[in-house]
Amino acid sequence: MAEVGTNIQKASAYLKEGLLVAIPTETVYGLAGNALDVKSVGTIFETKNRPSFDPLILHVASLEQVNQFVTAFPEKLKRLAEAFWPGPLTVLLPRKASVPDLVTSGLDRVAVRVPNHPLTLELLAQLDFPLAAPSANPFGYISPTQAAHVAAQLGTQIPYILDGGACAVGLESTIVGMEEEQVMIYRLGGLDISEIESLVGPVTVQVNSTSNPNAPGQLVSHYAPRKPLVLGNLTELVPQLIQQGKKVGVLSFSTHFPSFAANRQVILSASRDLKEAAHRLFMAMRILDESDAELIVAEFVPEIGLGRAINDRLKRAAAQPIH
């Protein structure tokens, strides 16, 4: 079983040996390996049971370090990186040959970010290689936001989990890139679109679900509980399903159902705070997935700010299961 602790030197030693370590970030916990070592990267895909056509994100210690792995850094994207790194922003850039094909799924761009967590930044500063680090969970399942989540899912497959506490953001990073002169968003995430547009002007959102992604996190079914998740109007769906004899788990934005079992309902934010809702989303899915509910019923949150990213995750969680 994986050891859980805060020993950066121990995590560093495992990574230098080519082994995998779970690392904390402000978004979710990542399953990290040496991004320049094809064997380590291959082990990431094997451990997660992740398809090799779904590219990974490179995690580096600083903006300056990015230049070692990319051939160009467009001015608009650099402006965003300077403003939001370390933070929940991933930038898609043309890669150098030193970045293995397996990291990018053979694509000519690599996704890069500087995570905002003190333990992981200290770890990255000690390494002479970047880390490839998708979420530390079996592919397609709910992303982990605490060390205990990683231990429960991958604890028998990795030697060490660097425990950085609960993730502050709780949603994966926003992924941006350029198509000609236009800034594109390929994955909605922990950074509000309005914050991006305040620096680079209007952006185009292109998060179409696809089986042939050009950036991480674009697959149709993703971030999903094992139990079926149904999206709709809770005040209509819940009574209907109960009448059908279903044992329902309820994931609501702010509504409390007084007559409903407390262990089978989770409220994302009683005060309707989208930041709090984003922070609690994956944890809420996990609680209901581990309950005695047969299925989970959820509702969309307001489609503004971080609400767009939350709704994106809900839609993917409700897609046809891949398990």
pLDDT band at 218, cuts 50/70/90? Answer: low
pLDDT of residue 242: 87
| pLDDT value at 61 more than 90 | yes
pLDDT of residue 316: 87
Where does residue 261 rank: exposed (0-12), middle (13-18), buried (19+ CB within 10 A)?
middle
User: pLDDT tens digits, residue range 67-107?
Assistant: 999 999 999 999 999 999 999 999 999 999 999 999 998 99
- 287's CB contacts (< 8 A; 6+ apart) are 266
| pLDDT value at 271 more than 90 | yes
| pLDDT value at 322 more than 60 | no
Task: Report whether 189 contacts 257 (CB < 8 A).
Answer: no
Alpha-carbon span 30 to 131, nearest angstrom: 10
| pLDDT value at 259 more than 90 | no
Q: Supply the pTM of this predicted model.
A: 0.89
Task: Report whether 223 contacts 282 (CB < 8 A).
Answer: yes
Q: Give the CA distances from residue 274 to residues 182, 254, 293, 302, 306, in Å, rounded to whole numbers and listed in that order.
A: 28, 10, 26, 8, 6
Alpha-carbon span 186 to 52, nearest angstrom: 19
Task: Pick the more confident residue, 214 or 201.
Answer: 201
Other residues' Cβ atoms within 10 Å of the Cβ of residue 195: 15
Alpha-carbon span 309 to 282, nearest angstrom: 12
Task: Report whether 215 contacts 175 (CB < 8 A).
Answer: yes
Averaged pLDDT for residues 33-60:
93
Residue 165 Ramachandran class (φ > 0 left, ψ -120 to 50 alpha, else beta) = left
pLDDT band at 7, cuts 50/70/90? Answer: very high
pLDDT of residue 258: 84
User: pLDDT tens digits, residue range 277-316?
Assistant: 999 999 999 999 999 999 999 999 999 999 999 999 999 8
pLDDT band at 211, cuts 50/70/90? Answer: low
Averaged pLDDT for residues 170-189:
95
DSSP-derived letter for residue 300 is P
Averaged pLDDT for residues 16-22:
98
**For residue 207, what are its two tokens?**
């998060």
**For residue 84, what are its two tokens?**
């939001």
Sketch out the chain's domains with CATH numbers: 3-205 (3.90.870.10), 229-317 (3.40.50.11030)
Question: Could you give the percent of the chain with pLDDT greater than 90?
Answer: 83
**For residue 159, what are its two tokens?**
């030697």
pLDDT band at 50, cuts 50/70/90? Answer: confident
- Bridge-based pairing of strands 57-59 and 131-132 is antiparallel
| pLDDT value at 207 more than 80 | no
**For residue 269, what are its two tokens?**
């934010």
DSSP-derived letter for residue 262 is G
pLDDT of residue 6: 98
| pLDDT value at 274 more than 60 | yes
